[in-house]
Amino acid sequence: MEAGSAIQGGGRSITERSPLARLPDRIMRWGLTGLAGLILVIIAFFFIRLYIEAKPAFDKFGVFGFTFDNDWDVSKGTFGALALLVGTLITSALALLIGVPIAIATAVFVTELCPRRARGPLTITVELLAAVPSVVYGLWGVFVLIPKLRPAEQWFSDTFSFVPFVATATVAGPNYFIASLILAIMIIPIVSAISREVMATVPAEHKEAALALGATRWEMIRIAVLPYSRAGISGAAMLGLGRAIGETIAVTLVIGNAPQIGKSVFDQGYTLAAVIANEFGEAAADPLHRASLIAAGLVLFVLTLFINLIARYFVMRAQRGQRSVPQGMAG
Amino acid sequence: MSAVLPPVSPRRRRTDTVMRGVVGVLTGLAILPLVLVLYYLFSKGVGAWSVDFFTTDPSGRFFGSPGGVRSAIVGTVLIVGVATLMAVPFGIGVALYLVEYGKESKFANVVRYFVDVMTGVPSIVFGLFIYITLILATGFGGFAGWKGSLALALLMLPVVTRAGEVVLNLVPDGLREAALALGAPRWRVVLRVVLPTALPGLITGSLLAVARAAGETAPLLFTATIVKGTTLNLNDQMNSLPAQIFNDVRQAQDRIVERAWGSALTLVLMILLLTLIARLVQRRSRLT
């Protein structure tokens, strides 16, 4: 309009389009904006609906009572999710302990040590780990990992029984450790992909300076590469944690589904996600049970939300100045 | 001038060798599970494959032939196909908004933030959400294939959007400016210049999202559920490969477990094929 009014005589500028010709532009602009806004609406609706359906459980047991009581007993109709929460935290923490060093090592190997020609194939191979569906890892865990690892676990438990949380009389087939192992495998691709992208941003000057001062390759990695990418690696680990906490099917198959807090990592347990997948079928008839499972989903949602927030903060800090988001984060 | 630097001490040299070895071994450990899983899938899965495996439905009988997984394969293709039709246009539309119109505005950043939030939501929570809104609430009927598609679409949406945004950002501004300078209106620039340029990348991102959705079990368990019969009607309950595997793993019958291995091999091959196509399309892209 401004362009038009600048022309004397009140007519339209010859460069201005007729209102009709500008219509598609507006439609497109507001249509796309509407789509983007729809995402916000969906998420708000999502949260509110989950809360409303979970409310009976929160009313009966209280938000704190539900989250921190250790009494999940379907037959008695009491639902306190502490054992599930603890199970989720144990398996995820253990998965990070196993998976993150391996993922970082893979990233270091690919960016700094391996021959340039092996870089691409190696990257793709690690990423293929993410292409295997959760249920297939579960299948493999049940029929291969559990029977094959059991003697080793028993030996480990007997030999190192003085270490806290290791001793147990007989190792359960499905247990926290197996679940953690599978979770570790599942988070390696994402943690290693983001770590690799962060390590690729280490300025060549830093590395060359270290080498010029006489550092060996490993010393160069230790003093130039790792410190520079520390924030990014922390963020990657947190994103991995978010994945591990929300992972459902593989864990359901290999954790034993016993609503109790195991005394050892070789005991059976349960997680928030697993309880939903496992009990939802039978819960449809009992409103309180159903509300409790939805409440478990809500706790899980809030937990992952929180962790992803921290993760993104770290990754953003690591990538100041870079506009693009690591591809791994999108998938 | 002789060498200025003193030779590296044996201790440091040893540390270097040892640490390189450790890093190499750990990298090997990362790849080991993939090799093992693929090995077991092929050794146990191929044996389950037969003509019947692909052409009959699960019989549901404990004794005798457990039947094949036709309904699961058909269901997976349909459910994921419909989910793709919902998620890809939506996701690319949002990405277009973010790159072409929203840019760094406050609203765009809020949308970006919530897309990230969605990426982190566990898939089973999406399943719960669809169950609550479309099955628990009256008026929409019970379990149905399209509800499974909707749950998967919610899961794919942030992946498509994020990947789309990255690719659209790679389209050089010069192209947009050239088209605008020639007098093309904004919408034609977007449809005729930006989208075609970014197409290979958008396809890659979408295919990777499809590959991810195809393997998901949790959102389907209480939306599309697990049934025996084959159906093409999205309003009916619909079987899917991941759900069928999840069901079969928990049966104490060797032939059913064998079917689970066969289905797992089928599913993994489908996903690997999609991933491979995605990578090949990516190679054709001229944007880097």
pLDDT tens digit sequence for A205-232 = 999 999 999 899 999 999 999 998 988 8
The reply to whether residue A301 touches residue B246, judged by beta carbons under 8 angstroms, is no
Select from A39, A114, A186, A245 the residue whose CB has the most chain B CBs within 10 Å, as the one to mutate to test that interface.
A39
Whether the CB-CB separation of A308 and B183 falls below 8 Å is answered with no
Please state, in angstroms and rounded to a whole number, the distance separating the CA atoms of residues A207 and A326: 22
| Chain A residues within 8 A of B13 when measuring between CB atoms | 216
The arithmetic mean of pLDDT across residues B65-71, rounded, is 86
Chain B segment 252-271 residues within 8 A of A by beta carbon are: 257, 260-261, 264, 267-268, 271
Alpha-carbon span A165 to A175, nearest angstrom: 13
∠ CA A321-B164-A33, nearest 5°, is: 95
Distance CA B118, CA B99 (A): 19
A324 — pLDDT class (breaks 50, 70, 90): very low
Look up the pTM and report it: 0.89
Among B30, B34, B129, the residue with its CB nearest the CB of A103 is: B30
Q: Which of B77, B142, B287 is nearest to B203 (CA)?
A: B287
Q: What percent of chain B has pLDDT over 70?
A: 97
Give the pLDDT of residue B224.
Answer: 87
Torsion B74-B154-A128-B26 (CA) sign: negative
Report the distance separating Cα B67 and Cα B50, nearest Å: 11
Nearest to B163 by CA among B119, B102, B228: B119
- DSSP of B200-264: HHHHHHHHHHHHHHHT--HHHHTTT---SS----TTS----HHHHHHHHHT---HHHHHHHHHHH
Cβ contacts of A101 on chain B, cutoff 8 Å: 26
B10 Cβ under 8 Å from any chain A Cβ: no
B20, B40, B110: residue with CB nearest A144 = B40
How far is CA A230 from each of CA A51, A199, A201, A202, A221, rounded to the nearest angstrom?
37, 9, 12, 11, 12
Q: Is the alpha carbon torsion for B137, B140, B144, B148 positive or negative?
A: negative
Q: Do B159 and A138 touch (CB under 8 A)?
A: no
Q: What percent of chain A has a predicted confidence (pLDDT) above 70?
A: 92
Q: How far is A133 from chain B (nearest CA, A)?
A: 5
User: What is the C-alpha separation between A248 and A277, in angstroms, rounded?
Assistant: 7
Q: Are A235 and A197 in contact (CB under 8 A)?
A: no
H or E stretch covering B119: helix B106-120
Put simply, the answer to whether A113 touches B20 (Cβ < 8 Å) is yes
Average pLDDT, chain B: 89
- For an interface test with A, give the residue of B105, B246, B271, B282 to mutate (most A CBs within 10 A): B246
Q: Say if residue B121's pLDDT is above 80.
A: yes
The SS3 of residue A73 is: strand
Distance (Å, rounded) from C-alpha A70 to C-alpha A84?
A: 9
Given a contact cutoff of 8 angstroms between Cβ atoms, the answer to whether B26 and A101 are in contact is yes
Return phi, psi of residue A78, to 5°.
-110, 135
Q: Does B42 touch chain A (CB under 8 A)?
A: no
B54 touching A (Cβ < 8 Å): no
Give tens-digit pLDDT for A14-39.
667 777 778 888 898 899 999 999 99
Say which residue the tokens 């394969």 belong to.
B73
Nearest to A325 among B124, B162, B216 (CB): B162
Q: How far is CA A187 from CA A91, A130, A133, B58, in A?
A: 12, 8, 12, 33
Cα B145 to Cα B128: distance, rounded to the nearest angstrom:
15
Q: Are A182 and A173 in contact (CB under 8 A)?
A: no
Residue B63 has pLDDT above 90, yes or no: no
Alpha helices, H only, chain A: 2-5, 19-61, 63-68, 82-108, 116-128, 134-140, 146-159, 176-199, 204-212, 217-220, 226-228, 230-246, 249-254, 272-283, 287-318, 327-330
On whether the CB atoms of residues B69 and B263 are closer than 8 A, the answer is yes
Q: Which of A109, A242, A280 sits opposite B27 (nearest CB)?
A: A109
Return all residues near A268 (Cβ < 8 A) that are at least 6 apart: A172, A174, A175, A176, A255, A256, A257, A258, A260, A262
Q: Which pair of tokens denotes residue A56?
A: 């009976």
Q: Cα(B120)–Cα(A247) distance, rounded to whole angstroms?
A: 11
Distance of alpha carbon B143 from the chain centroid: 23
- The values of phi and psi at residue A323, to 5°, are -85, -35
Q: Measure in Å the smallest separation between the Cα of A34 and chain B Cα atoms.
A: 9
| Those residues with Cβ within 8 angstroms of residue A12's Cβ, 6 or more apart along the chain or in another chain | A4, A18
Express each pLDDT in A36-74 by its tens digit: 999 999 989 988 999 999 999 999 998 888 888 888 888
The per-residue pLDDT of chain A, averaged, comes to: 86
| Confidence check: pLDDT of B234 > 90 | no
B154 and A CB contact within 8 Å: yes
B1 has pLDDT over 80: no
CA A140 to chain centre: 21
B186 contacts A31? CB cut-off 8 A: no
Cβ A132–B246 below 8 Å, yes or no? no
pLDDT given for residue B135 in this prediction: 86
**Contact call for residues A199 and A107 (beta carbons, < 8 A):** yes
ipTM (interface pTM): 0.91
> For residue range A150-161, what is the model confidence (pLDDT) as tens digits?
999 999 988 888
The Cα A79–Cα A63 span in angstroms is: 11
Measured CA to CA, the distance from residue A190 to residue A200 in angstroms comes to 15
Q: In the structure, what pLDDT confidence band is assigned to residue A319 with cuts at 50, 70 and 90?
A: low
Q: Tell me how far apart the alpha carbons of residues A72 and A274 are, in angstroms, rounded to a whole number.
A: 13
**Is B19 close to A218, i.e. CB distance below 8 A?**
yes
How far apart CA A223 and CA A210 sit, in angstroms, is 8
By Cβ distance, the residue of B132, B205, B209 closest to A294 is B132
A69 by Cβ neighbours in 10 Å (0-12 / 13-18 / 19+) ranks as middle
Which among A278, A295, A330 is positioned nearest to A51, based on CA atoms? A295
- Exposed/middle/buried for B209, CB within 10 Å: 0-12, 13-18, 19+? buried
Q: Are the C-beta atoms of residues A221 and A211 closer than 8 Å to each other?
A: no
| C-alpha closest to that of B120 among B171, B162, B79 | B162
Asked whether residue A122 carries a pLDDT value surpassing 70, the answer given is yes
Average pLDDT (A239-263) is 91
Residues 98-117 (B) with a CB less than 8 A from some CB of A: 98, 100-102, 107-108, 110-111, 114-117
